[in-house]
Structure 1
Amino acid sequence: MNDVGLLYVGAVLLVNGLMLLGTVPARSAAVLNLLVGALQCVTPTVLIIQAGADPDAILGASGLYLFGFTYLYVGVANLAGLEPAGIGWFSLFVAGAALVYAGLSFWRSGDPVFGVIWLAWALLWTLFFLVLGLGRAGLTRFTGWVTVLLSQPTCTLPAFLALTGGYRTGAAEALAAAAAAVLLVGAAAYLARDRPAVPGPVRPTALVKEN
């Protein structure tokens, strides 16, 4: 169920990245945010109920709420025309939590590839905080490209690999994932360089999930 949810998180991140780039209208993106946000809240609830008293299973499901709440927040805010500051500051909380989950993936779960993915999400949600929470409109285009470029390799690709039994994790795979993430962030900076965002009020948009 985690992997199924992660698959659709790749879709919503792609759409939210395009929203930040001005390609997809905010109200149009709201529906997908609400659907995926609901999925990312129902899924961990079911997993936690099924986990009984297993703390590792509960921990594994807990991170999904971070992203489920994010997408629900974005969907409601976009439909209601709310100011984005609340989403931005919640994104700061998500970014901090993502760093903790990254550490747990590296040193407790023995899954360094997902540790790298959590670090990529921490960066992404930090950018959401800067753009939506602090109103750094000049970073909007860069954040949009980072979201688009990271959406598939951090969500869709690992989800498909896990669902088909092809997911592998280890030091070599983690190094390759980290190198790919750095290259994609660099590509985002290159794509954003010629057309800086026009200063003005930043509308809600956004965002992870996780596993």
Structure 2
Amino acid sequence: MGAVGLLYVGAVLFLNGLMLLGKVEPRAAGVFNLFVGALQVITPTVLIVLNPADAAVVLGASGIYLFGFTYLYVGINLLGGFDTTGVGYFSLFVAIMALGYSFANFRILGDPAFGVIWLYWSFLWALFFVLLGLKRTRITRYTGWVTAIQGWVTAAIPAFLTLAGYWRDTRLYAIVLAVFGVVVFAVLWPLTRHGEPAGATSGEADDVARPEGERRHRPRWT
């Protein structure tokens, strides 16, 4: 069941990345965030209820709520036009907790590949904190690309491989993921800097990067 939910986490991350890049209308993305957020709250609840005595299952399922609440929060924000600060600082909490779940996957659950994936997520949610909580809109494009790529690399592909029975040699996957992440995200940084705003005031942060015609009319996730 966890792999099924992870597959759709890949979809919502990909969609949110495209939204940050200006390819998807925010309210349309908001609806899908609610769908996936609800799924990511129901899934761990069912896993915990069915396996209350299995500490490993409860540990693994508990981390899913971090993402379920994120997507519900983002979806409500996008549809309601609320300020992004709350989502941003919740993202900081997720980024810190993701480090703990990374450690747990390396040392307790024996899954080094997901240990690396949790490090990916910690990095991504830290970017969300900087973008949404601190209003550093200069990283909008970079965050959009990282989000879209992580949708495939950390969620959709691992979920499909798990469902198909091919998620086996997790040490090899861990090495591949670690090298891919360091190289790709480092290369993306200079490539995405062109055309980004040098900075924004607190009042301008929610306005920058909106399509022309929407600015100053309603808040957006970024």
Count of aligned positions: 205
User: Could you tell which deviates more after superposition, 191-200 or 95-104?
Assistant: 191-200
Length-normalised TM-score, structure 2: 0.88
Superposed displacement of residue 175, structure 1: 1.4
**Percent of aligned pairs sharing the same letter:** 53
Which residue of 2 is the match for residue 55 of structure 1?
55
**Moved beyond 4 Å, runs of 4+:** none
Which residue of 1 is the match for residue 167 of structure 2?
167
Which residue of 1 is the match for residue 214 of structure 2?
none
- Structure scoring higher RCO (CA < 8 A, sep ≥ 6) equals 1
What is the rounded CA distance, in whole Å, between the counterparts of 2:55 and 2:48 in structure 1? 9
Q: Which amino acid aligns with 1:109?
A: L
What is the rounded CA distance, in whole Å, between the counterparts of 1:188 and 1:18 in structure 2? 15
The answer for unaligned runs of 5 or more in structure 2 is 207-219
What is the rounded CA distance, in whole Å, between the counterparts of 2:134 and 2:112 in structure 1? 32
What is the rounded CA distance, in whole Å, between the counterparts of 2:155 and 2:36 in structure 1? 13
Length-normalised TM-score, structure 1: 0.93
Structure 1 residue corresponding to 2:221, chosen from 183, 197, 204: 204
Give RMSD over aligned pairs: 1.4
Q: Which amino acid aligns with 2:147?
A: T
Give the 3-state SS of the residue equivalent to 2:205 in structure 1: coil
The yes-or-no answer on 1:16 pairing with 2:16 is yes
The yes-or-no answer on 1:99 pairing with 2:99 is yes
What is the rounded CA distance, in whole Å, between the counterparts of 2:108 and 2:52 in structure 1? 20
The structure that has the greater radius of gyration is 2
The answer for unaligned runs of 5 or more in structure 1 is 206-211
Q: Which amino acid aligns with 1:33?
A: N
What is the rounded CA distance, in whole Å, between the counterparts of 1:16 and 1:110 in structure 2? 31
Q: Is the 8 A contact 2:91 2:125 kept in 1?
A: yes
What is the rounded CA distance, in whole Å, between the counterparts of 1:146 and 1:160 in structure 2? 20
Which residue of 2 is the match for residue 152 of structure 1?
152
